[in-house]
Structure 1
Amino acid sequence: MKFSLSWLRDYLDFSVSLEELCATLNRIGLEVEGVDDPSKRLSGLRTALIKEATRHPDADRLQLCRVDGGTGFEDVQVVCGAPNARSGLHVIFAPPGTYIPGSDITIKAGKIRGQASGGMLCSLKELGLGEESNGIAELPEEAPIGADYVRYAKLDDPVIDIAITPNRGDALSVRGIARDLAAAGIGTLKPYVPAKVERHGESSIKWHIDHPACSYVTGTLIHGVTNGPSPAWLKRRLESVGVRPQSALVDVTNYLMIALGRPLHVFDAQKLKGKCLTLTHAARETFRALDGQDYVLGTQDLVIVDENGVQSLAGIIGGEHSAVDDMTTDVFLESAFFDAVQIALTGRRLGVQTDARYRFERGIDPAFVKEGLEAATALILELCGGIATEVTEAGQVPQWQRRAGLRFERLKSFGGLEVSARDAVASLEKLGFEVLEQTEEKAVFSVPSWRNDIASGQSLDQARSLSKEQAEMAAVHVADVEAEVDLIEEILRLRGLDAVPAVPLPQTTMVPAAALTPQQARNGALRRLCASRGMMETIGFSFVSDQDAALFDDVTESERLLNPIATDLNQLRPTPLINLLSALKRNIAHGFGVAGEASFFELGPCFGQKGAHLVLAGVRGGTTARAPGHAAIEPSWIDAKADLIAALESISISESSLNTTADAPAYYHPGRSGQLRQGPKKILGRFGELHPRVARHFGRTGSVAIFELLVDDIPLSKTKRKAPPILSALQPVRRDFAFLAGKEVTIQDVIRAVRGVDRKLIEDVRLFDIFEGGSLPEGYRSLGIEVVLQPQGESLKEVQLEAFSQAVEEAVKKATGATLRR
């Protein structure tokens, strides 16, 4: 929101400095984003006269201008290349030492092509005041010589730019800002005097409402207007805040929208057909707006139509067909109250951003609809002439009356600042709140119509109908607690939130609580583990294309996005592997990683039949670096399984408690994948190589190792003190066993049978060899199992080892039918 200092003075009588004014704005929550002071930016410029202009002797496109720039610069030669430089022209002269903001240069006296030049003649573009580029600026003949150009052009008017939070629609007007400043002690708010308009006859155009998003609309027909350029004062006002003047009729609506916060629209009445304008639903037609763009409207969009069709996208932008121009003589002026949510939804869907939409979707004053129409009508009659008809209207002014209660002791107990009851009431009254009831302990206020951000308990009519006992109860137990909180905030911000003393929270224990929850600690451990194994963490979108998602899961409508940010991000992802595989493809294609090898992981959400759940996923692709005696190799399912087991062990789940089954999802390689389980049903994770069909979809022809850890399916380990490890002084003993087993026998069953022989003595059991063919019977394979024994009290004797070997042989044969190879 931009406004000039002179514009603010129309509504606020003050004498403080610009610096104090900006400090107050920051204090009361209207943050100053910038101040543009042309008097400082354009200091040193003078009005001047070109007394004589002759051709440069050594350059065809340059002229030697003798310039009269006033005292000290009565006769200065300036070399100028502008085609419009000529004798008798009044210009803008920059003496040596003047900074030119548009060109970012400081003028110096010197020579140009051998001729002395003691300054510069400026264009508006070079000064940052416009887009004129056909030559130097031409001033009127009555312009004085040697005057300060900033003062002459009335540019000595600083423009303040403030940031408005979405809840403060009332501050999107110069008068609203003036009201806040007056309440904060900066000057006195000037009373608003409603416009008085002399009207003649009824309007031939009536209103009809057929859409719930419009509750009240007014209009007036003005005959015999003369449209044309706005007066200089109005142009300067609009230009100072970055609004381009167009014509008097359009400029009036823009001026009052900024000054009073009241969006308006003016139609060329002669371009309208019929005797009624209707606010209704759009019908999927195409609408050409004032910006020259065509918009396809939806059935929920609110539009203003006549017998020819849509003439305005209500509350957002008018139509090109009914726009006013220099030939306009009759206009119909509209002022209405529209639903903020409806305006926001339509504007967002169509991508239309206008100043009117910006105000409507943040909330405007519902009680100022008709007054705003009167103000605009009066100004149009003043600038353009004409005769106004009686106001035509439809609907009713919405019930904006609300109440809010305040307990004065809450200013200290909740707000943290000592404020007397009298001062608190005075502050709210300056903001427009009216006292309904007041005692020593509490007060009930009516909320002004322009403050739609203030929550309310009961309506004003309900507040007045309460009995004394009910009123006291309502003030203590406010129906809507936010109402009291909002009033406290208003009182505090006028004094500055920095004035509230800092109070430490009460210390409930000498031992601080853990900085991380158990879930956060576990997630951190998983991230560190993957990083330590050479994988790079990524953070991907939770949205993917439905084509990619279909490769990993059945695509359902429940995970389809109705309003995706991009067409290829229209589905909630079933697994983070989709993002990781896309990253793998891009990085290997660009040569990132060592010798074409790359590995990534992500700990993030995915979505499916179980809803949202957390998954740790990782991928490895490419080839390892070549080395003497070692060929480059691709990652395999063994690498993926090692990553998954390492991740599980980092969160205190040992490999010995896991079972491996060969039933991974269909996007895994059917013969090189598996799932890790605890018990027969509980799946903790998956590992393996990516299915070749899916790999080709992501541009990979070699093997890609992947794994997924279902983090949310793993219960948190109980936090208990760990017993110190028992470190034996004796050497471990290793024994190898080769079992002849049918192919239907799983390795997991063999390992489980061996481990169950003596859990205290056995340190580790692992598979080290699988052999098929040769002299082995058909349908059988040899499984090499290494067993590590760790004696504790004494060294194992040969007899004990023989007994242990016999027990292993019997246990495996009983559990799986496999026999020991002799």
Structure 2
Amino acid sequence: MKIPIDWLNEFIDIKSNADEIARGLTMGGIETHVEKSAAIDPEIITAKILNIEKHPNADKLSLCDVTDGKNTYKVVCGAPNIKTGAVIPFARVGVKVGGIKIKKSKIRGYESDGMLCSEKELGVGDDHSGIWLLPDNLPAGISVNTYLSASESVEIEPTINRGDALSIFGIARELSAIYNIPLKKCIQNYETNIGNIFPVEVLEKKSCDRYVCRVIEDVKIGSSTEYIRKRLESVGVRSVNNAVDITNFLLLSYGQPMHAFDLDKISGKIIVRNALKGEKILALDGKEYVLEDWMLVIADEKKPIAIAGVIGGKDTSVTEKTKRILLEVASFDPISIRKTSRRLAINTESSARFIRGIDYSNILNISKIACDMISEICSGKVVPEAVDIAAGQRTAPEINVNISKVNSILGSDITVNEAKQIMDRLSFSYKGNASSGDFTVVPPSYRNDLLSEIDIVEELARIYGYEKIPCASGVKYMPDIKSDRADEFTDKARDIAVSFGFLETISYNFISESDAENLDMCGNLLKVANPLSCECSFLTPSLLPMVISNANRNFSRGLRDLKLFEIGKGFGKEEITLFSGCMAGFSDVWWKKKNEDTDFYTVSGFVSAFLSELGIKKHIFTASVCKIYDNGESADIKVAGRKIGHFGLLSRSISNLFGIKNERLYVFEIELEPLLKFSVRGKKYIPVAKFPYIERDISFEVPDEFSAAEISESIRSAGKPLLQFLELSDCYTGEQIKEGSRSLSFRMRFQSGEKTLTDADADASVKSVMDELVRRFSVAFR
């Protein structure tokens, strides 16, 4: 949540700057960082409009006299919201606005000595309907940057238990405790008469333990006041109308969600109930939601009019035609709201607060503040009574605290008096003798997360100051952490890919139905019960959809040379760990030699080197029948007879489906778990051979049905133990080679570690190889 410092100062007079506030809150347990204001040209200054005259030659232009405190300037302006006495941003001649230098110019016959600026023109907001009106008390002639720096903000990220911190007042209250500074204003306790001013029935009291509603009549709905509109804009909330803006303003100010209904659009009475299965509601975001029978709704006698604690309905929303408002201020069960919010994928400011818990005891007081504001700003008449239906009074827990035990847990030396002062600053009440060091405390109503003694210990520690608690000397316990070989193997795969120049990507393990159809994966899909979006409807059995999408994203940004990989889970009949990636463009870019395009052999070379570095001694490539690849440029990867992956050139039809129009993209995918048992750990030293080697070449015709990998494996097996090196040196088809066959040439290197080989030794090994080739593949030697 964004906390503007000037808004915060309405509740507490704090002199610290944004950086100091962020540090104090973070050390107090609420993660906070400073949000820097947009920087504009320092020469853009504040100026005051002294006089406005109508332009003689243009109906929509005005002639303005503005002053910077020293000089007066004539400026031609067409903004509809300018007024005498207003303080505005002023760019004099020579100053840059949006990269454009302001020049002295004539507009319809009259010279303009500068420019009055809107928020959008300065890049500090989206409003360009008129000139940016600054606070009237700003002096003329100061840099607008000075004003912006004075309106700094901090961004807080409270944990799930700190619902009390999700408001301006809540953060002011927190800073009051941290810095021991009194609050300037608090929530008062108002006397309110309870009456049956509108029929309300709460059927689900477990999910709604308090429901307050108020009625305001004869309202005039229109634009918000400048003050409220600016406050909402400062935290990124869009202004709707004066009544709705008041509810949003108070939610941000005090952390209490509320909702305004158009009372005349409600049929009969309000009913707080669970939805009927399949019941529908058109929400304020313009979407229609189908409800489950466990979801809490606010309904009238005909239909749901709001999803309780999450979002209101469009049919009963407050508009310019609204004359009577029913104001709802309630307390809903956090678990119920969280389940509904997640199932419907709706995250709102209201649901964020109900999920964390709100201040049950101040609901009626906040409703009074809201009614007073609506009465004043919307000219409404508040019905004095309120409906207040409570399931039962909440009782705050009574927690025993022993200061000696606190110090034992923390390793601190907090005195009883220090502990009492801290709890006074946190608004705790006491039972028993607080000065004894062993007493009972009752947390304030807004701290519904404090339930046990250890919670109080934490509160004392964070306000006392973690930096004051001495560190323990020495490590008293060292857990026995055993390394996981599977994790080590995955890390090694990652390191190998990086060493080959690949960049790692990280994606969600979800896939859309259309992407699954594109890659022929529909038979293995596991549907997600509560997807974030239709693009995340299924758990993915493969990482290739994400790899291809990431490649396309890079292509669309002009990046042609790609080496990307990703390690993640695939989900099918079982969960598997996958190593997937892609290559495109130039395989290696170097100024000293001609760049070469990535091709099938580039990818096969990487895959072979990758497996070798993982300690896989033997693998073969066989022709792949995977439909996503182009024929002739793909292969399956096999280790010990088992297929563990595949690679190849993505077919043009698949590329087009993913939006890749012109690029040739090679992809690969390898299962890592099966490789683990074949991986040889460590490396063995082999001394350099002392004896020379003998080379022999063989060439033969072989039917196309047999792969070079199969033939190579047979040659290696038959050539043992002297065959030390084997290389496919040529592959030929054409004249003199019969149809359905091809000619292969292999170079073999024979060597012994014990003696110098003779020709007879080498010839014997060659004969063994040739005999095996004839037996297995019916080759014809050339």
User: Fold match, TM over 0.5?
Assistant: yes
Q: For the residues of structure 2 that align with 1:112 and 1:734, how far apart are their CA atoms?
A: 90
Deviation of the 1:686 alpha carbon: 3.7
Q: For the residues of structure 2 that align with 1:120 and 1:777, how far apart are their CA atoms?
A: 85
CA 1:733 to 1:707, structure 2 compared with 1: closer, same or farther past 3 Å?
farther
Greater Cα shift, 209-218 or 644-653 = 209-218
1:432-451 Cα shifts (integer Å, max 9, x gaps): 34456889887765443322
Give the letter for the 2:305 counterpart: Q
CA 1:612 to 1:213, structure 2 compared with 1: closer, same or farther past 3 Å?
farther
1:61-110 Cα shifts (integer Å, max 9, x gaps): 9887889x89x98xx8753535899xxx95347899999999799x9999
Q: Which residue of 1 aligns with 2:688?
A: 727
Contact 2:338 2:355 in 1 (8 A): yes
Deviation of the 1:732 alpha carbon: 0.9
Greater Cα shift, 737-746 or 388-397 = 737-746
State the Cα RMSD in Å.
Answer: 6.2
Deviation of the 1:707 alpha carbon: 4.5
Secondary structure class of the residue paired with 2:268: coil
Contact 1:336 1:369 in 2 (8 A): yes
CA 1:759 to 1:424, structure 2 compared with 1: closer, same or farther past 3 Å?
farther
- State how 1:404-415 maps to structure 2 within 5 Å: none
Q: Which residue of 1 aligns with 2:607?
A: 644
Query: Which of 768, 791, 794 is matched with 2:755 structurally?
Result: 794
Secondary structure class of the residue paired with 1:188: coil
CA 1:810 to 1:217, structure 2 compared with 1: closer, same or farther past 3 Å?
same
CA 1:296 to 1:557, structure 2 compared with 1: closer, same or farther past 3 Å?
farther
1:626-679 Cα shifts (integer Å, max 9, x gaps): xxxx9x99945x655444322221222224xx4666676565678776544443
Q: For the residues of structure 2 that align with 1:705 and 1:303, how far apart are their CA atoms?
A: 52
Q: Which residue of 2 aligns with 1:613?
A: 577
Query: Which of 481, 489, 494 is matched with 2:463 structurally?
Result: 494
Deviation of the 1:725 alpha carbon: 2.1
Query: Which of 144, 147, 165 is matched with 1:171 structurally?
Result: 165
Secondary structure class of the residue paired with 1:714: helix
Q: Which residue of 2 aligns with 1:333?
A: 327
Q: For the residues of structure 2 that align with 1:760 and 1:790, how far apart are their CA atoms?
A: 9
Greater Cα shift, 400-409 or 128-137 = 128-137
> When the two structures are superposed, what TM-score results if normalisation uses the length of structure 2?
0.72
CA 1:112 to 1:22, structure 2 compared with 1: closer, same or farther past 3 Å?
farther
Q: Which residue of 1 aligns with 2:672?
A: 711
- State how 1:229-248 maps to structure 2 within 5 Å: none
CA 1:401 to 1:747, structure 2 compared with 1: closer, same or farther past 3 Å?
same
Q: For the residues of structure 2 that align with 1:372 and 1:387, how far apart are their CA atoms?
A: 14
Secondary structure class of the residue paired with 1:763: strand
Gaps of 5+ in 1: 458-474, 476-483
Report whether the alignment pairs 1:91 with 2:85.
yes
1:727-771 Cα shifts (integer Å, max 9, x gaps): 123321023456788888886676555544564422124555678
Secondary structure class of the residue paired with 1:91: coil
> When the two structures are superposed, what TM-score results if normalisation uses the length of structure 1?
0.69
Secondary structure class of the residue paired with 2:366: helix
1:107-131 Cα shifts (integer Å, max 9, x gaps): 9999979999999999999999996
Q: Which residue of 2 aligns with 1:449?
A: 445
CA 1:310 to 1:542, structure 2 compared with 1: closer, same or farther past 3 Å?
closer
Give the letter for the 2:723 counterpart: I
User: Percent identity, aligned pairs only?
Assistant: 23
Q: For the residues of structure 2 that align with 1:643 and 1:126, how far apart are their CA atoms?
A: 52
Report whether the alignment pairs 1:31 with 2:25.
no
Give the letter for the 1:519 counterpart: F
Deviation of the 1:170 alpha carbon: 0.8
Give the letter for the 1:197 counterpart: T
Deviation of the 1:274 alpha carbon: 1.9
Q: Which residue of 2 aligns with 1:431?
A: 426
Larger Rg, first or second structure (1 or 2): 1
- State how 1:558-707 maps to structure 2 within 5 Å: 558-562=525-529, 567=534, 570-580=537-547, 602-618=566-582, 635-636=599-600, 641-655=604-618, 658=619, 665=626, 667=628, 675-680=636-641, 682-686=642-646, 707=668
1:477-505 Cα shifts (integer Å, max 9, x gaps): xxxxxxx2x44443343245555667797
1:563-621 Cα shifts (integer Å, max 9, x gaps): 55664554444334445556677888999758xxx776555443332313222455568
CA 1:766 to 1:84, structure 2 compared with 1: closer, same or farther past 3 Å?
closer
Q: For the residues of structure 1 that align with 2:598 and 2:151, how far apart are their CA atoms?
A: 65
Secondary structure class of the residue paired with 1:164: strand
Report whether the alignment pairs 1:518 with 2:488.
yes
Give the letter for the 1:763 counterpart: Q
Report whether the alignment pairs 1:392 with 2:384.
no
CA 1:80 to 1:808, structure 2 compared with 1: closer, same or farther past 3 Å?
closer
Q: For the residues of structure 2 that align with 1:159 and 1:677, how far apart are their CA atoms?
A: 64
Deviation of the 1:256 alpha carbon: 4.2
1:152-192 Cα shifts (integer Å, max 9, x gaps): xxx99976634232433212334423332332243234675
Gaps of 5+ in 2: none
Deviation of the 1:195 alpha carbon: 0.5
Q: For the residues of structure 1 that align with 2:421 and 2:333, how far apart are their CA atoms?
A: 32
1:760-807 Cα shifts (integer Å, max 9, x gaps): 422124555678999999999876554321133432234434544555
CA 1:417 to 1:810, structure 2 compared with 1: closer, same or farther past 3 Å?
same
Report whether the alignment pairs 1:420 with 2:383.
no
Report whether the alignment pairs 1:359 with 2:353.
yes
Contact 2:45 2:89 in 1 (8 A): no
1:215-274 Cα shifts (integer Å, max 9, x gaps): 33123456x666578998986995796678888765664554344332333444444332
Secondary structure class of the residue paired with 2:298: strand
Query: Which of 243, 255, 265 is matched with 1:261 structurally?
Result: 255
Query: Which of 204, 212, 221 is matched with 1:218 structurally?
Result: 212
Q: For the residues of structure 1 that align with 2:104 and 2:398, how far apart are their CA atoms?
A: 71
Q: For the residues of structure 2 that align with 1:701 and 1:84, how far apart are their CA atoms?
A: 49
Contact 1:278 1:305 in 2 (8 A): yes
Deviation of the 1:205 alpha carbon: 1.9
Q: For the residues of structure 2 that align with 1:156 and 1:732, how far apart are their CA atoms?
A: 79
Q: For the residues of structure 2 that align with 1:162 and 1:743, how far apart are their CA atoms?
A: 70
Report whether the alignment pairs 1:298 with 2:308.
no
Contact 1:196 1:378 in 2 (8 A): no
Contact 1:62 1:80 in 2 (8 A): no
Q: For the residues of structure 1 that align with 2:518 and 2:253, how far apart are their CA atoms?
A: 58
Q: For the residues of structure 1 that align with 2:131 and 2:661, how far apart are their CA atoms?
A: 61
Contact 1:214 1:337 in 2 (8 A): yes
CA 1:728 to 1:264, structure 2 compared with 1: closer, same or farther past 3 Å?
closer
1:323-359 Cα shifts (integer Å, max 9, x gaps): 5678877544322112335445655676766543443
Q: Which residue of 2 aligns with 1:549?
A: 516
Deviation of the 1:196 alpha carbon: 1.4
Contact 1:203 1:391 in 2 (8 A): yes
- State how 1:719-798 maps to structure 2 within 5 Å: 722-737=683-698, 754-756=715-717, 759-766=720-727, 785-798=746-759
- State how 1:460-499 maps to structure 2 within 5 Å: 484=454, 486-497=455-466
Give the letter for the 1:494 counterpart: I
Deviation of the 1:194 alpha carbon: 1.0
Q: For the residues of structure 2 that align with 1:774 and 1:221, how far apart are their CA atoms?
A: 96
Q: For the residues of structure 1 that align with 2:663 and 2:253, how far apart are their CA atoms?
A: 68
Q: For the residues of structure 2 that align with 1:358 and 1:55, how far apart are their CA atoms?
A: 51
Contact 1:279 1:304 in 2 (8 A): yes
Give the letter for the 2:489 counterpart: Q
How many equivalent residue pairs?
753
Query: Which of 206, 228, 231 is matched with 2:200 structurally?
Result: 206
1:43-71 Cα shifts (integer Å, max 9, x gaps): 87557567xx6988x9999887889x89x
Give the letter for the 2:192 counterpart: V
Greater Cα shift, 550-559 or 322-331 = 322-331
